[in-house]
Amino acid sequence: MEMGFYFYSVCCFLVIFSKASMASDTISPSESLTGGMTLVSNDGTFALGFFSPGTSGNHYLGIWYNNIPMQTVVWVANRLNPINDSTGLLKIETSGRIVLQVQNTTTAVWSTNKTASARNPVLQLLDSGNLVVRDGEDSNPENYLWQSFDYPTDTMLPGMKIGVDLRTGFDRRLSAWKNWADPSPGDLVYGVELEGSPEMVLWKGLQKYSRSGLWIGNGFSGAPNSGLSWIFDYKFVWNENEVYYICFFKNNSVRSRVVLNQTDSARERYAWNPETQTWQQTLAMPTDYCDGYERCGLNGICDNNNLPSYCQCLTGFMPKWPERWNSSDYSGGCIHSKPLDCQNGDGFIRIRNVKTPDTTNSWVSTSMNLKKCRDECLTNCSCMAYTNFDVTRGGSGCVMWFGDLIDVKQLQTEGQDLYIRVPASETEVKKKSKVKLAIILATLIAPFLGFLLVFCYICRSRRKLKDEVEDKNLSDKENKEENEDMELAVFEFGTIAQATDSFSFRNKLGEGGFGLVYKGTLPNGQEIGVKRLSKSSGQGLTEFKNEVKLIAKLQHRNLVRLLGCCIHEDERMLVYEYMPNRSLDSFIFDQTKRAVLTWPKRFQIICGIARGLLYLHQDSRLRIIHRDLKTSNVLLDSEMNPKISDFGLARAFGRDQTEANTNRVVGTYGYMAPEYAIDGQFSVKSDVFSFGILLLEIISGRKNRGFYLADQSNNLIEHAWRLWKEDKPLVLAGDFLVESGDLSELLRCIHIGLLCVQQHPEERPSMSTLVVMLVSRNELPTPKQPGFLFYKKPFEADCSSGNDGPSSRNEISLSVLEAR
Ligand SMILES: *[C@@H]1O[C@H](CO)[C@@H](O)[C@H](O)[C@H]1NC(C)=O
Ligand SMILES: *[C@@H]1O[C@H](CO)[C@@H](O)[C@H](O)[C@H]1NC(C)=O
Ligand SMILES: *[C@@H]1O[C@H](CO)[C@@H](O)[C@H](O)[C@H]1NC(C)=O
Ligand SMILES: *[C@@H]1O[C@H](CO)[C@@H](O)[C@H](O)[C@H]1NC(C)=O
Ligand SMILES: *[C@@H]1O[C@H](CO)[C@@H](O)[C@H](O)[C@H]1NC(C)=O
Ligand SMILES: *[C@@H]1O[C@H](CO)[C@@H](O)[C@H](O)[C@H]1NC(C)=O
Ligand SMILES: *[C@@H]1O[C@H](CO)[C@@H](O)[C@H](O)[C@H]1NC(C)=O
């Protein structure tokens, strides 16, 4: 059936193109378009004509991509009223009205309204995919009397506005096709929700299905990084005349579209990959379970990492019906655990990194600052929470919520901070109940190795750690506390300069994303590694110290230990423990040194890296996404134990690089997950992707980037996948490892490596699953085709240096990806 459809639609497609097209992009009142004819936009990107989806025999007038071999319809005129044979005829009347009718009849199947008077109306298909009516004698060609972009169907193209004209009330929304063969509107709709502070909403029928969260100036609070796309840029415009969402191409050489998919119940973004000749999905909404609307009832908060229940009550709240809550029925939501006492003063608790609540019961001011916002909220007893939102203008803007808080989602990084009203007494209690994380080590036996440690962790109270009290007098106390548990040494500049022989070239160990690394010896003989941060970060002194303190708190045997820092004028340096065996890449890619790392040793290294990453993702207080995991960032101590370096730096010093208005993504080409490289979406799962590459590199001794082999594979992933499909996966490892290793363990690691590099983040295992997978003998899921497709072959610009040499910049820009 599916195949049948495919065959049919391909034939249909060929037929359309084999017929003479009008070779023109306009129709004037003396012309008409009938079945088999097409109108092609000036640059050949789009075509307008009749098509017939599925096997119904119904014919529709539509617009599709003209020169790609997979019929992709982006707009349909008569979606409600198909023509049952191929006798459709399109014309434009002298009044400017477009009419679609059946030949030799007079009744319109579909038509537009009369336009403002035009002397010489023409219908034109533009290169943007917009079908417009304009006056041929109007000197301004952008003066459209009618445009299809005002009547979107299921697809949003760059330049199209989705939203409301506040002057006329005209609302442009997307609505999905009912199914792949029926363009009539399904029940999935995407548009602007105007009530309260406006935001984008996906509806299913009359119900909200997923929300974007507040627009915070450079993205939506529910997806704070998705503005950072190399292909796509978007804006949410809100002024007295209009509220709309619009996107643009950053580079016209990549085709991209957003489409509502009724089958998947999702809004999906695709980019065309000319190499594989397929559409590649780069983003979807809802993104994950917690993106679904109101998963946890009123005043609940949904956290994808809080398995298995997902739901918790917001701080200061408790389940309304605890028994039902216990059996995973969250519909009752949560109520205040202690009554508010507005007269005698309430306080606020800050919850970090959330998708803000549904704004229908909110009030908004674009100019009020955070302090004013808090004061106003405090004086109005029905105000339950507030936030400020415009990060592009230093966080101006104030939103207050009245009544229950609905659909709050916990994000991992970079969401909004939400301040929730609680009784004053509650802010005190909260402070005392800081819970320390318990880590239990369980011991398992693994062949060849003896012992292996697996982490079990208790994550129950993890989120509570992140909630922090925000109250006038309490924040001082907090500062004091932070100073007390600060064990970080601050080194004198003179000491460091002496230790490194004034940063002499001989002591240079390498260069990473954030600066040069030197070896040094302190007067007491202790060897250190010094990272001299590049000066560009522009970060203040206090901010710098705070971040360093946070990083210093991350301690794990598979993380490089930060010993201290050094601040000298505008220079900042980080001092680490010294790793005598340098980095992993200096072994595995080196023809002679690689022999040191036999398979048992490599397996030990793999497990160590996995545990270090698991700690960063789940067990550390900060929940760090590394974002630049690669072999040169894995250092080896004297016993060849792996230690991850550069963790937390992206968070601390790469902040400016994650803003929507730059083209830069922190990370290294060859290790980045597709959704990160393309859309700037990073998550723990993009780290898992990088881990997968690392795994394949450790096994194969080859680099993913700069990979070249006679079997036509563009990169290591593709090569590994090919061998996997050809049922000879061990070829990847090469004779040396196969001889030194436990084959089933080796095979298992290849298998896990492929699972890590799956196209869709949700198909990749989490680090906790992965750590278990490494040592257990349970059956693993079957990998699908990995997400290697966007990687290009030989990567001349950047693959020459074997080590972390000067040419290996950790930042790449658009032009690198788009070398097609
Ligand atoms: C197509 O529709 C016309 C008018 O609605 C009807 O007269 C005709 O019988 C239909 N043809 C087929 C093949 O269903
Ligand atoms: C419409 O009428 C013209 C002229 O009478 C005829 O040639 C043509 O075949 C008719 N088309 C259809 C679809 O009936
Ligand atoms: C034509 O105008 C009517 C009334 O103003 C409106 O309801 C309808 O949607 C318009 N149709 C189109 C195709 O613009
Ligand atoms: C919706 O998703 C399905 C499978 O996930 C895919 O086959 C189909 O092409 C998608 N539809 C659209 C309109 O993109
Ligand atoms: C909910 O479950 C927990 C642990 O399973 C139990 O300790 C508690 O008593 C339960 N509460 C209610 C109200 O059933
Ligand atoms: C509190 O704010 C709400 C919503 O803006 C408003 O309706 C109400 O009058 C305010 N109450 C007070 C006491 O200011
Ligand atoms: C767009 O891509 C092309 C080729 O892929 C490249 O030459 C061009 O520099 C890119 N433009 C921008 C603005 O990045």
Report the half-sphere exposure of 697 (CA within 13 A, side-chain side). 28
Ligand 6 atom 14, closest CA: 380
Identify how many contiguous H helices and E strands the chain contains and give both numbers. 18, 47
Q: How does residue 20 score in pLDDT terms, banded at 50, 70 and 90?
A: very low
d(CA 720, CA 722): 5
pLDDT of the residue at 714: 73
pLDDT of the residue at 603: 92
Mean pLDDT value across the chain:
78
Question: What are the structure tokens assigned to 170, written together?
Answer: 């005209």
Give the orientation angle of helix 767-775 with respect to helix 684-700, to 10 degrees.
30
Mean pLDDT on 504-528: 83
What is the Å distance from ligand 2's center to 87 Cα? Answer: 9
Mean pLDDT on 191-212: 93
Asked if 358 is an active-site residue, the reply is no
Which of helix, strand or coil describes residue 240? coil
The more confidently predicted of residues 473 and 784 is 784
pLDDT of the residue at 553: 78
655, pLDDT greater than 80: no
**Is the CB–ligand 7 distance for residue 248 below 6 Å?**
no
**Is the CB–ligand 4 distance for residue 259 below 6 Å?**
yes
Q: Looking at the CA of 81, which ligand is closest?
A: 1
Predicted confidence (pLDDT) per residue in 37-86, tens digit = 999 999 999 999 999 998 888 999 999 999 898 899 999 999 999 998 88
Query: How many C-beta neighbours within 10 Å does residue 429 have?
Result: 14
Residues 6+ apart with CB under 8 A from 728: none
Question: What are the structure tokens assigned to 606, written together?
Answer: 């793999």
Which of helix, strand or coil describes residue 353? strand
Ligand 3 atom 12, closest CA: 112
**Is the CB–ligand 4 distance for residue 264 below 6 Å?**
yes
d(CA 675, CA 763): 13
The more confidently predicted of residues 542 and 718 is 718
d(CA 94, CA 135): 10
Q: What percent of the chain has pLDDT over 70?
A: 78
Q: Which of 628, 646, 687, 804 is catalytic?
A: 628
Q: How does residue 513 score in pLDDT terms, banded at 50, 70 and 90?
A: low
Predicted confidence (pLDDT) per residue in 264-314, tens digit = 889 998 888 787 788 887 778 888 888 999 999 999 999 877 766 789 999
The more confidently predicted of residues 207 and 657 is 207
d(CA 68, CA 807): 37
Which amino acid is located at 546 in the chain?
N
Residue pointed to by tokens 């909630």: 467
Of the candidates 415, 386, 468, the one whose C-alpha atom is nearest the C-alpha of residue 213 is 415
437, pLDDT greater than 50: no
5, pLDDT greater than 50: no
Q: How does residue 813 score in pLDDT terms, banded at 50, 70 and 90?
A: very low
CB 288 within 8 A of CB 300: no
Which of helix, strand or coil describes residue 27? strand
Q: How does residue 610 score in pLDDT terms, banded at 50, 70 and 90?
A: very high
- Which ligand 5 atom is at minimum distance from the Cα of 326? 1
Ligand 5 atom 14, closest CA: 323
**Is the CB–ligand 2 distance for residue 86 below 6 Å?**
no
The reply to whether omega before 286 is within 30° of 0 (cis) is yes
d(CA 145, CA 762): 45
CB 318 within 8 A of CB 337: yes
Angle 235-240-243 from CA coordinates, rounded to 5°: 35
**Is the CB–ligand 2 distance for residue 207 below 6 Å?**
no
Mean pLDDT on 557-566: 88
- Report CA-CA distances (Å) from 531 to 118, 150, 172, 501, 645: 68, 54, 52, 14, 11
What is the Å distance from ligand 4's center to 408 Cα? Answer: 29
